[in-house]
Structure formats: structure tokens, C-alpha cells
Structure 1
């Protein structure tokens, strides 16, 4: 307790030097986009419909949920016309920017031509997109199956793996979306893979507060799995499409080639689409069974996906993810020393986590009510960020890949001010 009080005292001393800036408002970068006038239901009616007609499991963020009306690149606008810097990108889904002009134009053009026909027929869009997408993968990952969501893609990937290996078990990491059998680190995965019970299992990697794998972890895990006849599945739902900066796919940063890759979120910049990419051999196992998807790879989805790939290349968004992401990581890292509650700043490219703790020695998660207030303060100052981690103690910063360094300066200043306000509240108690 004494150590805790001394640390708080040290923070309070620093707070005196910052006192004059705590109440200042960070200046939001300019934006020449003017949103349309909001003309739908009043906020109160929207809220009532939410309470009465939408399933309560669909939770909202913030004490007073935002009523968003329009988006433009890295910006969102609420029903009152207030602008927000979106650092969560619709849960890491808006890859090239809200309503990106190129994607919007391609979508509108296809809407006037053909919305939907099932993939039992041939149409240009699915073939053009399949060729374009698979060209970005190393051999032998050259066969794609289109789906509608990441969850569906992962289900299909597991189905494929089980058909091909004739085994049922899946090994994954804690806090991923699949929880059949969970291990908690490299030592555990080695131990489990040495058990005959889990021979021929598959590994699916997930994301938990922007935690990176230890060096050589995937190489060794892949080797252990394949020695036992298993398949390796890489979930690129969040890490794919250049977001990590250095590579187009997350698995490439580890020098491995998986057997199956799942894609979603950024693949369609918010359009509901996903895909599973695998080898011809594994895909053939699925062909022996009846598995059909009515909407997967429909003309509109494929045109959107192709336009997203074009935008990533033409706008240089993978390079932007590396440059701006590194800049943001370094700027956020500067918050660790002055603030005891900033336990870690980590990430790669535009996938960053800021972990909030009670103190750096214990690394205990900061209480939820304190994290919530910091989170609310950021929103009130015009910055939207996500939450993650086992105890929801990590701020997830994964913006549209078109974000600029000027936006980063604004976001870091906002978070800095929110942290100062937290310190002021803590020392005032």
C-alpha cells in the first residue's frame, strides 16, 4: 500500500506541472467533407426502438450511445453533425476508409448491372476477383471459397480441416473466437501436441489486445502440428490486407505458410463478405461433400472486394500502415513513463494496443469503471477507440488505413488529456 501511495504521489507532483493543460481541448485536424443533414428518427425514438426491438445481446458502446449518420474516410459524423476520428474502424473492418470513393463508385456501377445471382452460374466478377485475390498468396494457397462473414469462414476452415485430416480437435489461443480447446502459451502448446490425444489437430491464431507471438513461435508450432499430420489455419480477419504494414498478410511476418487462411472484415471495407483460401488438395476434400453458400462471392461482393484491393495498392495503404503505424506506436509509447497506469504499448502497423493497469509492478488490470471514464473522455473529445484483452483492459487502436500523422498527433493529445484527467480524479479522492 505504501508503494502505491508513493507512486500516486509522484503522479500528483507531475500533475501540478500539467495542470494548466488538463482542461484544454485538443485541436481536431481539418476536414473539408460536409455531411448531409440528418433526417431520420429523433435520438429518443431510435433509443426506444433499440430497447424494444433489437436483441439485448447487441450491446452499444458508451453511456450515451452514439447515433452515427455518415462516414468519410477516417471520420464519422453523428446525427448532430459532430465529427469523430475513428480509431476502431467498425471493429477493424473499414480498411481503406469510410465510403472510399473508388469502392463506392464500383459498388454503384455494379448495383445498376447485377446485384445477385448464385455461384452455380458463371459471371465475370467472381472469376476476376478470385484471380486477383489468390495472386496475393504464396503457393500452394491458390483456391478460394467465398463466404459472408469471418465466423462463417472460420467454421468452414475447421470443417475443411476435419474432413481432410479425419480428426476433430482444434487447438487455439485464449480470447480468440473459437474455444474448442484452449492453450495459453508456447510451453502449453508443445506439451499438448506431444499428447497422442491431440495428434492431427489444427491451430487457429487469434487476436487479443494486439499481442504478438514470441519469435519463432509459429514456426515451431507449425512444425509440431505437421509432424503429427495436422493442418495449420491462419486467421487473417484482422491482420490481413496490409494492416501490419511490413507484409500484406500477418503470417508472412513469421516466415510461415499456413494450410488454410481465413479472411473477412477489411476484405470488403465494411461490406459483409469473407473468404477461405487453401490448397487444391484440401479444397478437394470439401468437394466430396455438399457445401453450398447462396450469397458467398455474389457479383456485388466480388466487385467490392476487387475495388478494395485496388484502393490499397493505388493509395499506398500498406506503406501508410507501416509509416503512420510506427509513428503512432512511438508517440503512444511516450505515455508510458509519465503515467503509471499505462502498462504497455504494443503492436505492429495499424494494430496497436494500450494496456491499462493499476501499476506497472503488479500489472493488474485497471478497474473497469476507471477505464470506462478514460474511454468516455476520449469520445467526448472526438476520438473513438475500441476495447480488448482478457479483462477488457486494453485500448484497441486499429483505424482505417488512410489515417495520417496529423490525425495521430490529435489522437495522442486526446488520450494524454484523458489520462491527465484520470490522474486528477485519482489524486482528488
Structure 2
């Protein structure tokens, strides 16, 4: 059997349409399909050789750049030596990586022992974190946010608050609290954290047994539309939940590894230290990998039963993960996200001034969003305009994604090597895309 690949768009579309299950065929962004053949740092090239700026980061999986040479070299070196080794046996690469991840966690007084469990994906990491919290506390009820996204597995769906991602048959014992959305939250604009923290107390009282296993929070909601938690929310949520026997689970799958610019982990902006941290996507820069990092005493009860993720400690993926940490440090990727992200956000504010359909622009570092509305006063979501601009961006050489509970946001989460020189091109491409609506 030949392993030659036919790169033609028509044949690729035919094979995908014929042999992919309906569940996987649904996940297609553009009206017309695309085939990407090559990636290098923040750029992509399609099968016809056209160049794009990747503002999607392949769903935030590409953290330090497409085919980053140091990451590729580390993975290739390991794959040529031993591609996979089950976690039943010892291997130095994942052991080193666990040590390095633990060292990357906040530990201001030096009294926290962080331990790591590697998984295949972020969704599996969320499942494990939920199991870990319930096992440690002895409580079943978990809290989640109404516009949260935590993954497509059954357990991760149960703490996802967006109907388009939820399927029938999810497990229960989850209560949802209002998002502290400072643009369109239930308490109005810029209401701060206070009234939303009160809602946590009310929800615990009304929708749980009174004792909880924990609350899971994205420090910046990704698929929820790049909603940043306001100052005091995560720390206040931790205080309230811990008073009811629970834990704070921080989902850093999208916001982690320096993407928000100011910190390595998004939750650090609120000065809080979680009990359990979930991470994936950017951890491997495209290599499949996830992890749960938890306080040692919280993870300890898991030893009573088997818990196994087949490729979780895969040495090839872990070699890539080690290289990612090295690149973040040596190439000052986090600082680049802060500086370039601030410059890009400033240009997005200019877009808002020029185009009334834009209701809000927001975000931190290289985790940004543009939200479209039919009317700035009513803030009615405008998914149709979002879809039209999204399609036009492709013609401008920009790849991004739709986001938010109503698909009314454009999400900009490029590889963190996006340069200052790219910012003007991104602005001009977006401006052309919005301008076509008026034309």
C-alpha cells in the first residue's frame, strides 16, 4: 500500500466527506474547505501555496510556533529512540517533564508539593480533575460557569455551559453559576466580582447539598468568547467553595503557558493558588498531551484505584512539552505575548471606533476577542455578521475562529511568536473584512 498523499482539495474533501463520521464532519469553519500543507511559526500555507497569519493557533494548540525547530527536534530525537513507553514502566523524559511542570507552578512560601498526572488531552484532564476533587472531598456536587467550555467527553460536557457543545446523557451533580461577564453579565457592565460571588453562595444553597466538591473556572473563557475573570472573582470563589468543603479547579487549557502575557498561568492575575490545575493544548505545541497538576495531598487518594491514560506519559509528546517550556523561557515568549498582544488590542479598539457592528473588544496578551452586536445599546448578539466577517478574513489572509455562546465573537489566539510587524497586517485585514459589510 502506498503512503503517498494526494494534496488536491477536491480529493481531500471527497475522502473526508465519505469516510469521516458525521460528528467530525460538523466541525468545519469555512463555507469552502481548506487544506493546509505547511506551517512555520505564526504562518500557514495552503495546498495552493497561499500564505496566512494563523490567529487561531490551530485551536490554541500551537503555543510557540508551527513546527518550531527546537520542539520538532526534541520530539524527533525521542521518537527515533523510543516512540512510546507505557506509564507502567519508568522513563526519564516524562519524569523530568513532571519535575519541570511542578517547578513552573506558583509556590510563594515553598510549602506546596505539586504533583503531575499526564493525560492524552485536556478533556481527559478535566475528567480526572473532577474525579480527583470528588474523591478527595467526599462530595459530589460541582459548580461551573454558564458559558464555560471544558471539553467534549461526557464528564467534561457536564461542566460545559454552552448548549451547542452538550449532548444527551451527561452525568449530573453540576450546578451552574452566572458568568462574571463585565460586558453583558446579568448585573450590567463593569459590575465587578462582588454580585457574582454572592451568586455562588446562593447556588450552593439552592442547587447543592450544601457541601461541594469544588468549582471549575477558566481564568479566561476561550470558547465562551474570551471572557476574563474580573479581579477578585477566582480568589473569592475559592474562599466560598473551600468554606463548603470544596476545591478550586483552574482550567488553564487555553489561557496557560504564558498566553495572557503578564503571567505563566491566567489565574495568577488574581493572586490565587488553585488546588488543581488542568492544562493541555499549548503544553505540547501541537503534540497530543494534557496534564493535571495538583497539590500532593489532594492527588493522594487516587492511589486507591487504577487510573490510566494510554498515551498520557508518552515520551515523544513529553519531549516536545519539555522543549516548549524551554522555548518559553529562552525566547521570552510570554513577554512577547504581553507586548504584541497589547499592541494588537489597541488596534482592535481602533476597529471598534470605525465599525459600529463591533460591540466590544477585550482580552489579555494574545488571547483576544471582537464581539459583534446588532445594536450597541441592546447588545443583541449578531452571529450572522460574525460569520460574514469570518469568511472575509480568509480572503485577507487571516485564519481565526468564531466563539461565544451565540457564535458572535471572533477569537484571536495566535501562536505567541506573533510579531509587532504582523499587527498592522492583521489590523488591515480585519478592517478590509469589516469594510466589505458596508460595501
Is 1:213 the counterpart of 2:223? The answer is no
Q: Secondary structure at the match of 1:171?
A: strand
Flag the 1:141–1:183 CA change in 2: closer, same or farther, 3 A: farther
- Residue matched to 2:316: 300
Q: Secondary structure at the match of 1:120?
A: coil
Say if 2:29 and 2:401, in contact at 8 Å, map to a contact too. Answer: no
Q: Specify every segment of 5 or more residues in structure 2 that has no aligned partner in the other structure, as ranges.
A: 151-158, 161-173, 180-195
Say if 1:190 and 1:221, in contact at 8 Å, map to a contact too. Answer: no
Q: Specify every segment of 5 or more residues in structure 1 that has no aligned partner in the other structure, as ranges.
A: 1-37, 425-429
- Residue matched to 1:57: 23
- Residue matched to 1:406: 421
Report 1:346-385 matches (<5 A). 346-366=362-382, 368-385=383-400
Q: Deviations over 1:290-312 (max 9, x none)?
A: 11222211211211100010111
Q: Secondary structure at the match of 1:353?
A: strand
- What is the aligned counterpart of 1:201 among 204, 207, 213? 213
Report 1:51-130 matches (<5 A). 51-58=17-24, 59-130=27-98
Q: After TM superposition, what 4+ stretches of structure 1 lie above 4 angstroms from structure 2?
A: none
Q: Secondary structure at the match of 1:321?
A: helix
RMSD: 1.4
Report 1:227-376 matches (<5 A). 227-366=243-382, 368-376=383-391
- Residue matched to 2:201: 190
Q: Deviations over 1:262-288 (max 9, x none)?
A: 000000001100000001111111111
- What is the aligned counterpart of 2:175 among 178, 181, 190? 181
The Cα shift of 1:39 comes to 6.0
Which deviates further from its counterpart, 75-84 or 169-178? 169-178
The Cα shift of 1:57 comes to 1.9
- Using the size of structure 2 for normalisation, the TM-score is 0.86
Q: Secondary structure at the match of 2:239?
A: helix
Quote the Cα distance in structure 1 between the aligned partners of 2:142 and 2:384: 36
- Residue matched to 1:16: none
Say if 2:386 and 2:402, in contact at 8 Å, map to a contact too. Answer: no
- Using the size of structure 1 for normalisation, the TM-score is 0.87
Quote the Cα distance in structure 1 between the aligned partners of 2:178 and 2:325: 35
Which deviates further from its counterpart, 87-96 or 197-206? 197-206
Quote the Cα distance in structure 2 between the aligned partners of 1:339 and 1:292: 51
